[in-house]
Amino acid sequence: AKPLVIGFSQVGAESEWRTANTVSIKDAAKKEGVTLKFADAQQKQENQVKAIRSFIAQRVDVIAFSPVVESGWDTVLLEAKRAKIPVILTDRAVKVSDPSLYVTFLGSDFVEEGRRAGRWLVERQKKTPDAVLNIVELQGTVGSAPALDRKNGFEEVIAGNPKLKVIRSQTGDFTRAKGKEVMEAFLKAEGKKINVLYAHNDDMAIGAIQAIEEAGLKPGRDILVISIDGVKGAFEAMIAGKLNVTVECNPLLGPQLMQLAKDVVAGKPVPKRVVTQEGVFPADVAAKEFPNRKY
């Protein structure tokens, strides 16, 4: 039979996580004999819309995409629906007036990731019940969905605990350089008061760890470091004892996506929401887990 054609519009290549995501999807497509039309949006929603329009024009079998933003998809998804092309969302959700515009959403739950980071800290705080833990937060890009959700999820969990206080919160744009730069400023401004660093991704945490070391402090001990994503670099840092925990955000969606696409085309019912398998990796399991990491 004719091979299945999937049009996939990726956000861009802004981070290691994203590239791992892309690689996973491309590899899975190759393995399953699916023809993949891949378009990179260079972080722009309008480019994604253009790509989806061109997928419609090419009459692909399934359209999948990781939306840059949540809102603003009604029109183009309506066009896809009129052209009878099913749409699968990956990694990030969308807000549309009519949920039938997409078939299913496969991906992680950023709010849940934030909550997990928060829960780990709440547990950890129980070890030193009397001490107040001052937290500094390195946010992702201002306004981006992961930054908003990870912040909200984290705050939701720690809100009930008066011993946990966020004293500084600033954006580090998800990058190592900015993470380091901002952390340096935090250290100068707050000094030894800082007990915990919560970074919205591993890259910023790794940058910040360097800043902490250069300030003569021990990351992981003097300052607890919590981050999200679970990339290789984070595991290396945990093995070195500089990072305490990373909350996994799994980019390896390829195989699941291919399966969903096949089911959808075959007319099988699929759940509206497919959550990816994700774990929390504290430092003590890092060495054991490290060889298993693919990205």
Partner 1 sequence: MSTTSPAAARPARSIISSPYFTSLITVFLLLVLLVAGGAAYTGFLSVQVLFNLLIDNAFLLVIAVGMSFVILSGGIDLSVGSVLALTTMVCAYMLQTWHLPPLLVIVIALAMGTVFGAAMGALIHYFKLQPFIVTLAGMFLARGLCYLISINSITIDDPFFVAMSQTQLPIGDCFISPGALIALVTLAAAIYVAHCTPFGRAIYAVGGNEQSALMMGLRVARTKVLIYAFSGFCAALAGVLFSFYMLSGYGLHAQGTELDAIAAVVIGGTLLSGGYGYVAGALTGVLVLGAIQTLIAFDGTLSSWWTKIVIGGLLFIFCVVQRVMTMRANKK
Partner 2 sequence: MFVHHPIFRPLAALAILLLIDLIMVPGFFHLEIKDGHLYGSLIDIANRAAPLILAAIGMTLVIATRGIDISVGATVAISGTVAAMLVGGTMVMNNGTPEYVANTPMWIALAAAMGAAVLCGAWNGALVAGLGLQPIVATLILMVAGRGLAQLLTDGQIITVYYQPFFFLGSGYLFGLPFSLYIVAAVFIVTALLMRKTALGLFIQSVGINPVAARLAGLKTAVLIFFVYVFCSACAGVAGLMITSNIKSADANNAGLLLELDAILAVTLGGTSLAGGKFNLAGSVIGALIIQTLTYTIYSIGLPPEVNMVVKSVVVFVICVSQSAEFKTMWRRAFPAARGGKAQ
**Residue ranges in contact with partner 2 by CB under 8 A:** 13-16, 18-19, 22, 139, 142, 168-171, 173-177, 180-182, 184-186, 188-189, 203, 206-207, 210, 214-216, 233, 236, 239-240, 287, 290-291
Using rule CB under 8 A, residue 111 touches partner 1 = no
Residue 233 touches which of partner 1, partner 2, none (CB < 5 to 8 A by kind)?
Answer: partner 2
Verify binding: residue 95, partner 1, rule CB under 8 A. yes
189 vs 275, beta carbon nearer partner 2: 189
> In terms of C-beta density within 10 A (0-12 exposed, 13-18 middle, 19 or more buried), how is residue 269 classed?
exposed
Point out which span in 52-60, 103-111, 233-241, 247-255 binds partner 1 (CB under 8 A): 52-60
Minimum CB separation of residue 193 from partner 1 in Å reads: 27
Question: Residue 127 or 294: which CB sits closer to partner 1?
Answer: 294
Q: Mark 65-94 with x for binding to partner 1 (rule: CB under 8 A) and - for no binding.
A: ---xxxxx-xx--x----------------
Category of 72 on φ-ψ map: left (φ > 0), alpha (ψ -120 to 50) or beta = left
Segment holding 81, helix H or strand E? helix 74-82
Is position 30 an interface residue for partner 1 (rule: CB under 8 A)? no
Return phi, psi of residue 275, to 5°: -95, 135
Q: Which does 46 bind (CB under 5 to 8 A by kind): partner 1, partner 2, none?
A: partner 1
Burial of 46 (0-12, 13-18, 19+ CB in 10 A): exposed
Counting Cα atoms < 13 Å in the Cβ hemisphere of 153 gives 24
Q: Which does 92 bind (CB under 5 to 8 A by kind): partner 1, partner 2, none?
A: none
First vs last Cα of the chain: how many Å apart? 34
Nearer to partner 1, 142 or 185 (CB): 142
Kindly determine how many residues on this chain lie close enough to bind partner 1 according to the rule CB under 8 A. 42
54 lies in the site for partner 1, by CB under 8 A: yes
Q: Under DSSP, is residue 169 helix (H, G, I), strand (E, B) or coil?
A: strand
For tokens 């039938």, name the residue. Answer: 100
**Residue 258 and residue 254: Cα distance in Å, rounded?**
6
Looking at this protein, which amino acid is placed at residue 66? S
- In the list 66, 134, 141, 250, the residue contacting partner 1 (rule: CB under 8 A) is 141
Spatial distance between the Cα atoms of 42 and 47, rounded to a whole number of angstroms: 7
Sheet holding 164-171, edge to edge: 164-171, 133-139, 196-199, 224-229, 245-248, 280-282
| Contact residues: partner 1, CB under 8 A | 7, 10, 12-13, 19, 22, 26, 36-40, 42-47, 49-51, 53-55, 57-59, 68-72, 74-75, 78, 95, 97, 141-144, 148
